[in-house]
Amino acid sequence: MYTIVKIAGKQYKFSEGDVLNVDKLNIDGNEAVFDKVLMLVNDNDVKIGTPILNNVKITAEILDRGVKGDKVIVFKFKRRKNFRRKKGHRQKFTKIKIKKIEVLN
């Protein structure tokens, strides 16, 4: 069984027990609940939301809040003008583990 969920404006595909990095979440506590489920696949049973499924809830455990991604280099350059700018950026992530995918009736 796997789901496609919208978290912080991006779509993620995962199943129970998966550990993944999502964009930084401002959630207090050690548990997060996501209810914007776009699709649920359970063997041959496929449910697609219009736009979301109202009867599916996902519970996740927050493992780490301060994870940083790889550095992305932004380099600006103009030829023959001696103009060069180099900047780096590291995106902050929240590391979560999917504990439970519930289908409510």
8 A C-beta contact, residue 58 and residue 101: yes
The reply to whether omega before 51 is within 30° of 0 (cis) is: yes
- pLDDT confidence band for 15 (50 / 70 / 90): very high
- What share of the chain in percent tops pLDDT 70? 100
Question: Does residue 81 have a pLDDT over 90?
Answer: yes
Average of per-residue pLDDT across 41-46: 92
DSSP assignment of the chain equals -EEEEEETTEEEEE-TT-EEEEE-----SSEEEE--EEEEEETTEEEEEEEEETTEEEEEEEEEEEEEEEEEEEEEEETTTTEEEEEEEEEEEEEEEEEEEEE--
- What share of the chain in percent tops pLDDT 90? 95
Task: Name the more confident of 92 and 105.
Answer: 92
